[in-house]
Amino acid sequence: MRYGLTIAALVMGMAAAAATAYADIRLAFVDVQRALNECRAGKEAKSRFRGRIEQLQSQLEGEQGDVERLKRELEQKGSLMQPDQRQNLEDDYEKKLRHFQDDYKNSRDELQEKDNQVTGAIVRDLAAVVREIGAKNGYTMVMEKGTLLWAVPATDITDQVIRAYDAMNVRPGSLGNEAGAEGAKFAPAADTPPRRGLTEPPEPGASGRSTILK
């Protein structure tokens, strides 16, 4: 009987210890994409990007218009031209077409690279802010919303992170070294770049990952 009481006491003690450990666990999550969209640095970066995209769009539309004009001229008048005239027109068309295709590709690459740089800098800053909030408030773990199947809304600290980051009023990327050194980071989701036609504008934010232009 005494042996049974000892076992029961031991089990109760283990259960109490487990309950105490469980009670000490504090979890939260952050919506990184929303933080990017709504923080001051993200809004300013998005505004600059939109202006650059509109400028490139206008340039590419002008180049495409020249290409389409030469193509129509070839189709409608090519058979009536002298061989040397037709050859000159074909050469001009092919040159402008290559130029348009190169400009389109380079524009997309330029914007994608810049988007990656700016997004990465702000995400690293946000990671540093999350680490500070987590340590200050005793969180056991802070997760990214994209990795969650479900969570209690009250555990969302995105607004708190945005307010804290804006209050610091720092240059994007200036907090990132601390986050990198301590291992606090958000990993953007892997994505496959979308296939887009030549007539469509470059949109580096059209992927599934965290990006300043999403």
Three-class DSSP category at 19? helix
First-last CA distance in the chain: 68
Q: Is residue 206 over pLDDT 50?
A: no
pLDDT for res 138: 94
Quickly state the pLDDT bin for 213 (edges 50, 70, 90). confident
If you write DSSP's letter for every residue of 54-110 in order, what string do you get?
HHHHHHHHHHHHHHHHHHHHHHHHGGGS-HHHHHHHHHHHHHHHHHHHHHHHHHHHH
Given CA atoms 32, 38, 41, 42 in this order, what sign does their dihedral have?
positive
Q: Work out the average pLDDT over 162-168.
A: 97
Q: How confident is the model at residue 22 (pLDDT cuts 50, 70, 90)?
A: low
Statement: residue 137 has pLDDT above 60: yes
Give the per-residue pLDDT at 181.
47
Position 15 scores a pLDDT of 46
Q: Is the pLDDT of residue 182 over 90?
A: no
Three-class SS of residue 18? helix
Judged against a pLDDT cut of 60, whether residue 21 lies above it is answered with no
Among 41-50, 84-93, 157-166, 183-192, the range scoring the smallest mean pLDDT is: 183-192
CA distance 106 to 67: 18
Report the pLDDT value the prediction gives residue 177, as an integer from 0 to 100. 62
> Could you tell me which residues come within 8 angstroms of residue 184 by beta carbon, excluding any fewer than 6 positions away?
127, 128, 130, 131
The ranges assigned to domains in the chain are: 24-182
Helix (H) or strand (E) holding 141: strand 141-144
Q: What is the pLDDT of residue 7?
A: 52
Rounded CA separation 91/99 (Å):
12
Q: Inter-axis angle of helices 83-137 and 40-77, to 10 degrees?
A: 170
Categorize the per-residue pLDDT at 35 as very low, low, confident or very high, splitting at 50, 70 and 90. Answer: very high
pTM of the full predicted structure?
0.69
- Rounded Cα–Cα distance for residues 29 and 157 (Å): 6
Dihedral sign for Cα atoms in the order 133, 136, 137, 143: positive
Roughly what angle, to the nearest 10 degrees, separates helices 158-168 and 83-137?
Answer: 100
Taking residues 7-32, what's their average pLDDT? 64
